[in-house]
Amino acid sequence: MREHGGQITATPNGADPDEAGACFNLVFPAFDASQATERRAAVLPVAGEPGAVGQPKGPVLVVGDEEAIVLPTLVDGLERLGFEVLMATNGKDALALLDQFSVRVLLTDLVMPTMGGMELIASARANSPQTVTVLMSGNLPDEDRQTAEELGVFGFLPKPFRVREMTQMVERALAAHDPERAP
Dihedral sign (CA 40, 89, 60, 44): negative
Distance CA 29, CA 72 (A): 14
pLDDT at 14: 60
pLDDT, position 66: 58
Structural domains of the chain, with CATH: 1-30 (no CATH), 33-181 (3.40.50.2300)
Q: What is the pLDDT of residue 153?
A: 93
Give the span between the Cα atoms of 179 and 28, in whole angstroms.
42
Q: What is the mean pLDDT of each run of 10 residues along the chain (183 residues)?
A: 60 62 62 42 36 53 71 84 86 90 90 86 91 89 90 90 88 77 48
Cα separation, 69 vs 36, whole angstroms: 10
pLDDT of residue 33: 43
Closest CA to 114 of 101, 133, 95: 95
What are the backbone dihedrals phi and psi of residue 148, each rounded to the nearest 5 degrees, phi first? -60, -45
Q: pLDDT value at position 133?
A: 93
pTM here is: 0.65
Q: Could you tell me the CA-to-CA distances from 168 to 19, 70, 89, 109, 172 in Å, in that order?
A: 45, 18, 22, 17, 6
Q: Residue 108: name the closest of 76, 155, 142 by CA.
A: 155
